[in-house]
């Protein structure tokens, strides 16, 4: 209502202003060309016709000036809306020119539509934020799918390895050994099914977490034992060192297990046989749990070399829990990985 009233007042003021200008121009023209008219008060027909034409021309000119006066801001807003429709969310050109330098308020006649300009600015900001959120959501989805696709290789490697061992006729496996191998294959098949379910998980801007209260020491111990018992890891020395028997934390055990498994598999795959891999878990004074994975392998230049996909996936999963992951490595000196998570020692 304020906007409509302001436009009406501005339009009325402009009309009376230009009407006054018309009267001044007519009187000035009469005084200049026919001064006797102002003295006698009588006019000829030709003079009346002249004044009628002059008034008509000035009236049309007044309408044009009023249209230009109130139409400039509308045209500017049309350009802005067209830019928004084309995905250009920055303010249009001449934005500073239509504002005063003193308090950066809109100049006239743009100030008549200040509410509309403010709404357009908020709309542009909202559209830009929505586009950024959509882009981030799509990026998270791609990383989520890429991470799961990468993690599918690990259980497939287990299944392939133990299957080849079972069908190899050079070895005479006992019934207990065959049952152990089949149990591991079944466990990895279940793991594959979980990953496929995660692949179908709907991701809206962030990794979906199903948190529960778990023992981090048990998760680390179970994951280290799982990787250490794999056939392709038999030539590596894996040691677990825990300062506490129980460290409780609220997290998604599936995703934390995936992160730790990725780091351990990386330590095996990217290092030669005989590499010592040490896993330490400890409680820090700041009520965080630190999981440290160290190896004396070939290492890499962490300031130059791009980290592998396994490290990127682990970092993404840790950060989804509000944790931090640091990587320190030097060529021929090994690698040290540190995961920090909020935890409570019991």
Write the pLDDT tens digit of every residue in 226-281. 888 888 888 899 999 988 888 999 999 989 998 999 899 889 988 999 999 999 99
Q: CB under 8 Å to 297, separation ≥6 — which residues? A: 267, 270, 271, 272, 275, 334, 335
What average pLDDT score do residues 64-75 get? Answer: 76
User: How would you class 227 by CB atoms within 10 Å of its CB: exposed for 0-12, middle for 13-18, buried for 19 or more?
Assistant: buried
Give the pLDDT score at 290: 93
Give the pLDDT score at 88: 87
What average pLDDT score do residues 204-233 get? Answer: 86
Q: Would you place residue 302 in the very low, low, confident or very high pLDDT band (cuts 50, 70, 90)?
A: low
pTM of the model: 0.60
Q: Does residue 163 register a pLDDT over 70?
A: yes
Cα dihedral 104/110/115/119 (nearest 10): -80
Q: Does residue 95 register a pLDDT over 70?
A: yes
Lowest mean per-residue pLDDT among 64-78, 192-206, 232-246, 311-325: 192-206
| Structure-model confidence comparison of residues 13 and 130, the more confident one | 130
d(CA 304, CA 329): 11
Torsion angles phi and psi, residue 3, rounded to 5 = -65, -45
Q: Would you place residue 23 in the very low, low, confident or very high pLDDT band (cuts 50, 70, 90)?
A: low
Contact 281, 244 (CB under 8 A): yes
Give the pLDDT score at 277: 94
Q: Return the CATH architecture of domain 210-345.
A: 2-Layer Sandwich (3.30)
Scanning the chain, the segments in alpha helix (DSSP H) are: 2-33, 35-40, 45-85, 114-151, 153-167, 175-199, 216-228, 253-269, 309-320
- The DSSP bridge pattern shows strands 237-242 and 276-283 to be parallel
Give the pLDDT score at 41: 53
| Per-domain residue ranges of the chain | 2-126, 210-345
Q: Does residue 170 register a pLDDT over 80?
A: no
d(CA 157, CA 162): 9
Give the pLDDT score at 11: 67
Q: Does residue 345 register a pLDDT over 60?
A: no
- The DSSP bridge pattern shows strands 334-342 and 324-330 to be antiparallel
Most confident of 5-9, 49-53, 243-247: 243-247
Q: Does residue 48 register a pLDDT over 70?
A: no
Q: CB under 8 Å to 200, separation ≥6 — which residues? A: none
Contact 112, 73 (CB under 8 A): yes
Measure Cα distances from 33 to 38, 50, 104, 146, 173 in Å. Answer: 11, 11, 47, 87, 125
């Amino acid at each position: 209502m304020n906007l409509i009233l302001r436009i009406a007042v501005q339009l009325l003021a402009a009309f009376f202003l230009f009407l006054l200008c018309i009267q001044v121009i007519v009187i000035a023209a009469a005084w200049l060309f026919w001064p006797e008219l102002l003295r006698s008060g009588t006019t000829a027909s030709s003079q009346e016709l002249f004044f009628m034409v002059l008034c008509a021309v000035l009236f049309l000119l007044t309408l044009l000036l009023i249209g230009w006066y109130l139409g400039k801001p509308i045209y500017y807003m049309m350009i802005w809306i067209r830019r928004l429709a084309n995905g250009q969310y920055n303010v249009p050109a001449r934005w500073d020119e239509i504002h005063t330098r003193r308090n950066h308020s809109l100049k006239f006649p743009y100030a008549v539509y200040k509410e509309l300009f403010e709404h357009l600015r908020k709309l542009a900001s909202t559209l830009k934020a929505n586009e950024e959120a959509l882009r981030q959501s799509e990026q998270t989805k791609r990383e989520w799918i890429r991470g799961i696709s990468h993690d599918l290789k690990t259980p497939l490697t287990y299944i392939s390895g133990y299957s080849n061992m079972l069908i190899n006729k050079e070895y005479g496996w006992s019934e207990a050994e065959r049952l152990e191998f089949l149990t591991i294959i079944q466990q990895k098949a279940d793991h594959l099914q979980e990953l496929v379910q995660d692949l179908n998980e709907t991701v809206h801007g962030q990794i979906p977490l199903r948190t529960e209260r778990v023992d981090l020491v048990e998760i680390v111990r179970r994951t280290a034992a799982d990787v250490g018992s794999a056939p392709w890891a038999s030539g590596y020395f894996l040691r677990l060192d825990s300062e506490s028997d129980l460290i409780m934390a609220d997290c998604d055990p599936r995703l934390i297990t995936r992160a730790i498994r990725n780091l351990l598999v990386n330590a095996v795959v990217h290092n030669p046989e005989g590499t010592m891999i040490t896993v330490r878990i400890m409680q820090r004074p700041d009520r965080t749990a630190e999981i440290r994975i160290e190896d004396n392998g070939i290492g890499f230049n962490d300031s130059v070399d791009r980290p592998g996909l396994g490290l990127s996936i682990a970092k993404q999963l840790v950060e989804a829990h509000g944790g931090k992951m640091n990587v320190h490595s030097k060529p021929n000196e090994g690698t040290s990985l540190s995961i920090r998570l909020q935890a409570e020692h019991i």
